[in-house]
Structure formats: structure tokens, C-alpha cells
Structure 1
Amino acid sequence: MTNLLSRPRIPQELRRDPGTVPLGTVHRPLVICSVAMAGLAVLCGLGLMVDGRTLLGEPVWFKPLKFAVSFGMYAATLAWMMHGVQRWRRTLWWLGTVAAAGFLLPEIGVIVFQAARGVPSHFNFTTSLDSTLFAVMGGAAYLGWALTLAMGVFLMFQRRSDRALAWAVPLGILVSLAGMSVGYLMTSPTPAQAEALDRGLRLVTIGAHTVGAPDDGAGMPLTGWSTVAGDLRVAHFVGLHALQALPLLAVGLRLLSRRIAALRDATTRTALVVVAALGYAGLIGILVWQAQRGQSLIGLDARMLTDLLVLAGATSAAALVILLVRAGVSGRSARR
């Protein structure tokens, strides 16, 4: 019987031909993890309907639902990126498997367990159990960051038929790592908490995602992001999903190249992906700066709007220059 968790064997004849990709090269542990997260998301959705408890102003099963969806997307995206790789298959298989077992499962396990208890999973030091569980999550997060970085390095040197996608995959991982890193800012004590710790007081909460207000303040529908203060979760969320956004951009540009002549050149599409990655990284930086200033996403001031407009203008101008240069090259070629 085939073991679903076993590393697929690649026939020798397929190893000699890098253009042949067997269906069996799918990363099964990551796919299974993604499917399990989808099932968990459904169960959490049912929990929202039958369990009326709330935690920090939100339904108690809302946080596990969000994390299940996010982790499912992470696992599915990595499985897609690893599909058909030609180099370091075994290394990537083990990195992905350890990421699923050592990062995703412990994280979501603690979040679901604490939700069932009706207590916070993050920043919770109420009891020794709560402290230990939060430490487990922290260790899993550090491991996940390191494993994602390692997978990005090995995926960077894979041969792909589309050069733009070959750049989009590692760039998406790199920008996503920046988004992950924002989470570590949330674990630092707030000024009030730091002052209390300096006085020798024992706190039940250390860390926060909201800057300038309590974590249980007014929030946006669905996301729960603060509407009255800064919220580091915005930059964290946007950064994490560069993992999907940049590869999808590369795929979209390739599809558009069938209709738009300027995009048929692989170098042009690659340059556009690089520009988008730089703009995306700049957006994360602006969102972190906004949150650290205690400013909500819907309370933008003139300085914040100016920075966003400058970033959008610079990114658009760079993309326009790339397209104009390509058009000029094509025009000179046509006149010869």
C-alpha cells in the first residue's frame, strides 16, 4: 500500500529528462496539510454558528478560522512551488515536511486548543500552561521562518520554463519572510507593560498587536484590524501573502502576453515582477511605520497618503519605463 506521507520516487528515465515532470512529484505532506486546514476551517465556521462565546471582542472560533485559511494557503502554495523541481528534491521534500509538522501543526494546534478553553493563544502568561503554549508557538514560528528561508534559497536555483516565475517564487518568499518578521514586533512589551515589568509586577499579558490602544478595541469587520489605533496585523497579513501575490502576478503576465505584444518578452515580464516585489516590500514598510505611529488603516493622515502616493507613482513609473523600453526595442527590430 502506498504511504501518503512517503517521499515519491522519481523513475531514472525521468531524472535524465529535466523537461518531464511526473505527477507523483507533488509534495504530499503539504497537500495533506492544506486539505486538513480546509477541513478545520469548515469546522471553525460551524463553531462560529453554535458557540456564542467571545474573546477580546471577537467570536472565539474566528481566530482559528483565520489561521486555518492562512496556513492552508501557505501549505498549498509551497506544494505548488515544489511541484516538478529538478534540483535538491530530497532536501526540499524534508524542509516542506518539517515545516508542516514542526511549524503549522503546533501553531494551529495551540490556537485551536486555547480557543476551546476560551482563553487567548497569543501573549497569554496567565498560567504556566498558557506561558508554555505561547512559548511552543514562538518556537514553531522561528522554525517556520528559518525553514521558509531555506526553501526559498533552494527554490531560487530551480530551472523553470518561465523566467518571470523563476524570479517571482523566491522574491515572493523573501517578501513573505519580511511579513512574517512583523509578528515578532508584536511579542515585545508595550510601554505600559515594560514599565510594569520594571516595577517587578507579574503580568498576564505581554505583547500586543495594537499600538496605542488595547487589543480588544473596535475593529473592522472580518479582519478585526483596529479602527482606532495602529495595528501590526495589517503589515503582517499583507507581507505574508506576497507568497501568493508575486507568483500569481508572474502567471498573470504570461497569460496577458498572449494578447499584449510588449509582454511576450521574458525579460520584460521578469523586470515587471522585480519592480512589483520592490513596491510590495515598500508597502509593507509603510504599513509597519503607520502602525508604529498608532494610526489605523482607515485613519490615514496627509503624510501617510503622500507616502502611499509616492510609492504607487514610483512603482507605476518604473513599470511604464520598462514597457516603453520594450516597445522601443520592438519598434527598431520591426524597421530593420
Structure 2
Amino acid sequence: MSIQQLRRSAVRPVERAAYRVGAVLFASGLVHLVVLVASGTSWEGPLSYRKAMTFGLSFGLTLATLAWATSFLRINEKTRTALLGAFTVVSVVEVALVTMQVWRGVPSHFNFETPFDSFVSMTLALGGAVIIVTVLGFTIAALRSTSGLSPSMLLALRFGLVTLIAALAVGAVMIADGVSLSRGGHLELAYTTAGALKPVHFVAMHAILVIPALAWLLRFTTWTERKRTRVIAATAALYAVVIAGTWLVFS
């Protein structure tokens, strides 16, 4: 392997930072799982420790996954650093604010009771917008990419990122509907409406891990690249069916 190839295969500083931050966020989720179980409090509702748990676990896993998956893309390094750096920072902000509100005993989303709570709710919504922009940047890079990747991995990355955009769009709908209902005086309905979309949001979020991970594992088989690509295409189609089924069942 040449020095140039070694440099390409090395973990970039921004990716290393994302992995470390992702590990901390994931650990935070695990801590809140222990707190939730030990406290014996409810797993349901906007005040549950479950919310701090799920945000920590989900953002930690998604941040590390995005850093790993996008490391295969050939894009301008400054652009990569800006996109992944922004996603890392906003992940910390989202988890920190949600965790803070849980420990304060107040809802983190759709809460406009005080100026401070309103600031937190709107910051969380703004963070969601930043996340969409950063993932969209990586998605455009994947759709434009035509070299440097095997067809199976390129297909996996494209499907994973496009599906992640769809998951974020569902999240945006959840926030928009919740804010509208909350400001209209229907706070309980806001949480119920948003909660109905959580399953499809969750399933779509993790396609960026499942499909590229499968493409990476297939590299260790003796199959031809054409067969690997067919397997990825079939798996992606099945995953899309699962997403659609989740939407029909839970929405």
C-alpha cells in the first residue's frame, strides 16, 4: 500500500472527534437507562428519563455511523470537516438541551411556558434544521460521486443517506405539527401526534448503518461485485418496504 493510500485510509481528525463525541453521547444514553430503571419512574411521557436515554443513544449511534459511512466519500476535505463538524456540534447541543430539560422536570419540545423554555424548544428546532442541511450536503456528494467506490457501496451509501433525509423530514413534520398544536393550546395532542411518527422515524434513521455495513461485509465474500450490488439493491428494497409498513401500521 502506498503512502497516499495509507493517508486516505487513516481516520481524519474530524472523524476521530465525531467518534469520541458519539461514544460520550451513547454513554449518556446508557447512564439514563440505568437511572430510568433504578428510579422506577414511567417510561412514557415528555418528562421521562427515557427521552434523555433515547436522544443519547440515537444521536451517539447516528453521529458515529455518519462519520464512518461518509468517510468512504471523496469530497473536498474542508467541506467534509464543515459538514461533519456541524453535525457533531448540533448533536451535542440537542442531547444536552433535552437532558437538561428532563432533569429540570419540564418538557424539552413544544414547551413555551417561559421565555427560557421557549428558547430551548426553538433551539432544538433550529438544530434539526442544521442536521437536515448537513445530511443533505453529504447526500448530494454521494449522488454526484461516480468514482472511487464499488457500485455496491455507492448504492448502499446513496440509499442510506436518502433514507436518512426522509427520516429527518418525518422529524421536521413531527416538530412542525407539535409546535402548531402546542401554540394552539393542545399540548397533550402535540405529544400524541408527534409520538405516532416515532416508529417510522426510528426505522428510517438507521438505514445509513444497516445498508452500508452490509456492503462493507460483502467485500469479504467471494461474490462478484455484480452479485454484491444485486444483494444491496434487494436489501434496500426490502428495507423500504419495512419503512412503508411501519408507516402504515403506526401512523
TM (norm. structure 2) is 0.83
More helix by share: 2
The 5-angstrom pairing of residues 1-336 of structure 1 reads 14=3, 17=4, 21-25=8-12, 27-49=15-37, 51-54=39-42, 56-57=44-45, 60-83=48-71, 85-101=73-89, 103-156=90-143, 157=145, 159-160=147-148, 162-189=150-177, 193=181, 197=184, 202-204=185-187, 207-210=190-193, 231-255=196-220, 257-258=221-222, 264-292=223-251
* 1:227 equivalent in structure 2: none
Tell me by how many angstroms 1:19 deviates: 7.3
Tell me by how many angstroms 1:205 deviates: 5.3
Residues 111 and 283 of structure 1: is their aligned pair in 2 closer, same or farther, counting only changes over 3 Å? same
CA RMSD of the aligned region, Å? 3.0
CA deviation vs aligned residue, 1:289-317 (integer Å, no higher than 9, x gap): 3333xxxxxxxxxxxxxxxxxxxxxxxxx
In the alignment, the residues of structure 2 paired with residue 69 and residue 107 of structure 1 have an alpha-carbon distance, to the nearest angstrom, of 12
Identity %: 22
Tell me by how many angstroms 1:179 deviates: 1.6
Rg (Cα) greater in structure? 1
Tell me by how many angstroms 1:29 deviates: 2.4
In the alignment, the residues of structure 1 paired with residue 108 and residue 46 of structure 2 have an alpha-carbon distance, to the nearest angstrom, of 13
Residues 158 and 45 of structure 1: is their aligned pair in 2 closer, same or farther, counting only changes over 3 Å? farther
Secondary structure, in 3 states, of the residue corresponding to 1:110? helix
Moved more, 49-58 or 71-80: 49-58
Residues 126 and 204 of structure 1 are in contact (CA less than 8 Å); yes or no, is this contact kept in structure 2? no
* Greater length-normalized contact order (CA 8 Å, ≥ 6 residues apart): 2
Secondary structure, in 3 states, of the residue corresponding to 1:21? helix
Tell me by how many angstroms 1:32 deviates: 2.1
Moved more, 202-211 or 283-292: 202-211
In the alignment, the residues of structure 2 paired with residue 84 and residue 287 of structure 1 have an alpha-carbon distance, to the nearest angstrom, of 30
Residues 88 and 154 of structure 1 are in contact (CA less than 8 Å); yes or no, is this contact kept in structure 2? no
Secondary structure, in 3 states, of the residue corresponding to 1:187? helix
Runs of at least 5 residues in structure 1 that lack an aligned partner in the other structure? 1-12, 216-230, 259-263, 293-336
* 1:331 equivalent in structure 2: none
In the alignment, the residues of structure 2 paired with residue 159 and residue 77 of structure 1 have an alpha-carbon distance, to the nearest angstrom, of 22
Tell me by how many angstroms 1:20 deviates: 5.4
CA deviation vs aligned residue, 1:89-141 (integer Å, no higher than 9, x gap): 2211111001111x212211111011111122122233332222111111101
In the alignment, the residues of structure 2 paired with residue 178 and residue 92 of structure 1 have an alpha-carbon distance, to the nearest angstrom, of 21
